[in-house]
Amino acid sequence: MPVPVPPGYDLTDPDIYANAVPLAEYAWLRRSAPVFWNAQTVEESSFDDGGLWVVSRHADVKAISCARSGWSSEENTAIVKFDGKTVGYQERHIQKGMLLNMDEPRHTRVRGVVSRGVFTPRGVARIEGMLQEMATQIVLSARDSGTGDFVDDIACELPLQAIAELVGFPQEDRRKIFDWSNEMMAYDDPDFDVDPAQAAAEILGYAAEMGEDRKRNPREDIVTRLVAAADEEVVSSEEFAFFVLLLAVAGNETTRNAISHGMQAFFDNPEQWERYKAERPSTTADEVVRWGTPVQMFQRTATEDTEVGGQAIAAGQRVGLLYGSANYDETVFDEPNRFDIFRDPNPHVGFGGGGVHFCPGSHLAKLEIDLMFNAIADNIPDIAPAGPQRRLRSGWLNGIKEMPVAYR
C-alpha cells in the first residue's frame, strides 16, 4: 500500500536506504506527486541551490534520459548528493572528467574509444568462457569454507576479476581496487572511516602508472586502447585517468550489489530459486537488476526552461531520475512487487533510462549475474541465509555490506 510522504521528506537521506528501499513511499509519489520538490541543504548535499525536483514515474525517467537536448549531466554531475562537509564546487567540477558526467559531443567521443569491441555483445562473448571458469572457482572456494559473507566471498569477486582482466589490473591488485571503490562510495556510512578524495586520488595515481607502463608494454586491454587514444589526442590524459576510475568503481560496485540483492530475493522467494535451478531462464538477470536497482537515482540539470509532468522546471534546476521507483511502476510492470525471473518483457531502467548514458557495461553485468547464479545453483544449491544482512548507508546507492550465509 502507498504510504504518504510527509513534508520535508528527503529522498537522498542515507538513513532511509540504510533500513530499506522505501517502495511504499515511491508508490505514493508516482500516484500523488510524480514531480516532487526534494529540499536539500548545502551541508547535506554540497549543492547550494536548495534542492532538486525528483521524477518517480517510468515514463518521465525515460523521457529525460532519452532527450537529445535540454538536459546536462556535466553542469552539476549525475550524482544527487555528496558529503557537503568535504566536497564543494571545485571538487565536483573535477569530476566532469568522468564519462558519467559528460555531455555531447565529448561523451560519445570518449565512450566510443572503449565501447567498440569490448563491451559489445560480441566482445563480452569472447571472455564468457574465462568468466565461467572464474565463477565456478569462486563458488567452490566459498563452499569449502562452509559459511561466510556472501558479499565478500561471492558477489564482489566475479565483477572484480572481470574488470581486472578487461582493464588490465593485475589480479593481485583487485582487493586494493575493491577497497578504493568502497571508500569512494561509502562517504555516508559511519562504518567506513574513509576519505573519498584520497581514494579517488589513489585510483587516479594508479591509472597514471598503468598508462605509463602500457606505453612501454602494450597489451590487449582497455588501458592500452585508452593510452593509444590519448597519444592520438582522441581522449585527454585527464579523461583517460577518470575512465579508469569509473571502470574500477562502477564495474564492480553495481554488479556486486545486483548479485547480492538477487540472492536475497531468491532467499525471500524460495519457489523462484527452485524454478531457477530447474529451468535457468535467460530473463533472470534483468529481473535481478530491476528488483535490486543498485543505483536508485542519478540527476540531470535543465539547460533551458521546460516542463515535466505538468511541473515547470527552470533552467539550472536539477532533476533526480528515481530509477528505484520507475522500476516498480505499476503502469509498466505487472505486479511489480513480485520477484519473477520469467518476467518478459522487462523494460526496467536499472542500467539507466536509455539514451546516450545507458550503461556501456550492461551486457557484461548481465553475463556476470547469469554466470554467478548458474555456478551457485550447480555447486551450492542449498545455500541459505545465516543471519541478517547489513545495508549500506547511502543517499543514492542500494547496497548490501554484509550477508551471512551457509553454503551447504
pLDDT digits (tens, 9 = 90+) for 143-184: 999 999 999 999 999 998 888 888 888 888 888 887 888 787
Which pLDDT belongs to residue 87? 84
DSSP readout, 230-272?
Answer: HHTTSS-HHHHHHHHHHHHHHHHHHHHHHHHHHHHHHHH-HHH
Which pLDDT belongs to residue 68? 92
Residue 232, classified by CB atoms within 10 Å of its CB into exposed (0-12), middle (13-18) or buried (19+), is exposed
Which pLDDT belongs to residue 65? 97
Q: Which class does domain 14-406 fall in?
A: mainly alpha
Which pLDDT belongs to residue 186? 75
Report residues of the chain scoring pLDDT below 70: 117
Which pLDDT belongs to residue 117? 62
Is the backbone peptide bond immediately before 270 cis, with ω within 30 degrees of 0?
A: no
DSSP readout, 67-123?
Answer: -SSSEESTTT-S-S---TTT--HHHHHHGGGSGGG--TTHHHHHHHHHHTTTTSHHH
C-alpha cell at 131: 568468466
Output the CA–CA distances (angstroms, integers) from residue 210 to 171, 183, 304, in the order listed.
14, 21, 41
As a whole number of angstroms, the distance between CA 131 and CA 133 comes to: 5
Phi and psi based region of residue 168 (left: phi greater than 0; alpha: psi -120 to 50; beta: remaining): left
Q: What is the pTM of this model?
A: 0.95
C-alpha cell at 51: 534542492
Which pLDDT belongs to residue 217? 92
Mapped onto helix, strand or coil, the DSSP state of residue 39 is: strand
DSSP readout, 198-210?
Answer: HHHHHHHHHHHHH
Which pLDDT belongs to residue 226? 81
As a whole number of angstroms, the distance between CA 141 and CA 152 comes to: 12
Instruction: Find cell 602508472 and name the residue.
Output: 209
What angle is formed at CA 249 by the lines to CA 276 and CA 149, rounded to 5 degrees? 50
